Amino acid sequence: MQSNSNPEKKYLEQALSVEAAKEAKGVVRWKSPSNIAIVKYWGKHGNQLPNNPSLSFTLDKAATTTSVNFEEKTSDGIKLEFRFDGKSNAAFGDKIVGFFKQILPFFPFLEGLQFSIDSSNSFPHSSGIASSASSMSALVMALLDIEKQLGGGYSNEQQFLQKASFFARLASGSAARSVFPQASLWGNTTALAEGSDYFAVDLSQKIHPVFKTYRDSILIISAGTKAVSSRAGHALMNNNPYAKARYAEAHANTSALMEVLQSGDLEQFIAITESEALQLHALMMCSQPSFILMQPKSLEAIAAVRSFRKESGVPLCFTLDAGPNLHLLYPDSATNQVRTFINEQLIHLCQDHQWIDDKVGAGPEKI
Ligand code: PMV
């Protein structure tokens, strides 16, 4: 079987029955990071399948830690309680119940257990940082760890991570990329034979050393909730008049970026990264109905980044998620210069002077 064919059948065959939960009891704890896309995933079809390939850096500090206590139960159905920062959170708990029901054919043992889940994020409350990638990847890593403890076999670490990526994708598309260290690619592409729409793949062995220690300083321009969710944004791509051109651009940028990641050509890296960020927001502006997630201060910060780069020669660039906050990407060697630049020229644009000093990280960790 090719690695990029749909592994669903294989996972169904591996499913551990409810009997595996007999007398089970334990706790697993995983910390998993968020990621920042350089080539953006925007538009999907079918069961969380992307309309174009995307490529991201795995972050380090911006992470979710999730502890899952599990114990045998005899009643039917999914049973769990969920706490965020020590407080019960029914809305998120219901989301997890829905996810567990969706994946039940692959994990029948879930019905034989009751769960008590505690989760918290390392980044500040309401900082405007999307937590779905980190939270869903942490949950799935914990789930697969439980499966392993109950006798589910994986012949190697790579299979474990591929399966984690597959199920993280079902919970939140971009979460598929968070299970790998440093950099990851999700989606079919001519640039990488192993690329798959079903799971992301590890790029850490394919990137130039300069990117392994790349920095990401996240400027919190606004911490409020977004006016349009990413779920609604993806759906609006179905009628976007520029969709076809966008998917072609994303394919071309993925191929170009794969070369740049190997060569370490920072000038090209900057060109691709900023173009992708602005394309994402341009797509929002020409959706029907249109919407704008950037704010005046996002544009002020972009202008400042571009003039700083021109004047100083520091290879600093920006990207944006589906929101107003800027991610400043730069090599580790430029840290002091960029820190001074943030303090002197950007911090007044940040809500409550908030920014997060992050960098490329090593991926999920069992703790
Ligand atoms: O994973 P979702 O459905 O929240 O979509 C994420 C979309 C972007 O963050 C805008 C881009 C990306 O590739 O992460």
Q: In this predicted structure, what is the pLDDT of residue 1?
A: 40
- For ligand 1, the distance from its centroid to the CA atom of residue 41, given in whole angstroms, is 6
Helix, coil or strand: residue 11? helix
Q: Which atom of ligand 1 is nearest to the CA of 35?
A: 14
Q: In this predicted structure, what is the pLDDT of residue 226?
A: 79
Q: Which atom of ligand 1 is nearest to the CA of 36?
A: 14
Q: In this predicted structure, what is the pLDDT of residue 127?
A: 67
DSSP β-bridge partners for residue 185 = 55, 201
Q: How far apart are CA 329 and CA 36, in angstroms?
A: 10
Pocket test for ligand 1, best of 137, 167, 170, 174 (most atoms within 8 A of CB): 174
Q: In this predicted structure, what is the pLDDT of residue 332?
A: 98
Q: Which CA distances in Å does 306 have to 219, 236, 271, 319? A: 15, 30, 12, 12
- For ligand 1, the distance from its centroid to the CA atom of residue 262, given in whole angstroms, is 24
pLDDT at 150 over 90: yes
User: Does the predicted TM-score (pTM) go above 0.85?
Assistant: yes
Q: How far apart are CA 342 and CA 336, in angstroms?
A: 10
Average pLDDT, the chain: 95
Q: How far apart are CA 42 and CA 250, in angstroms?
A: 10
Angle at 273 between CA 31 and CA 173, to 5 degrees: 40
Residue 2 banded pLDDT, cuts 50, 70, 90: very low
- For ligand 1, the distance from its centroid to the CA atom of residue 49, given in whole angstroms, is 12
Q: Which atom of ligand 1 is nearest to the CA of 132?
A: 4
Residue 129 banded pLDDT, cuts 50, 70, 90: confident
Pocket, ligand 1, Cβ cutoff 6 A: 37, 40-42, 54, 132, 172-174, 230, 234, 280, 321-322
Q: Which CA distances in Å does 68 have to 80, 113, 115, 161, 279? A: 10, 11, 7, 19, 39
Q: Which atom of ligand 1 is nearest to the CA of 44?
A: 3
Residue 85 banded pLDDT, cuts 50, 70, 90: very high
* Per-residue model confidence as pLDDT tens digits over 156-176: 899 999 999 999 999 999 999
* Per-residue model confidence as pLDDT tens digits over 196-233: 999 999 999 999 999 999 999 999 999 887 788 999 99
Q: In this predicted structure, what is the pLDDT of residue 125?
A: 67
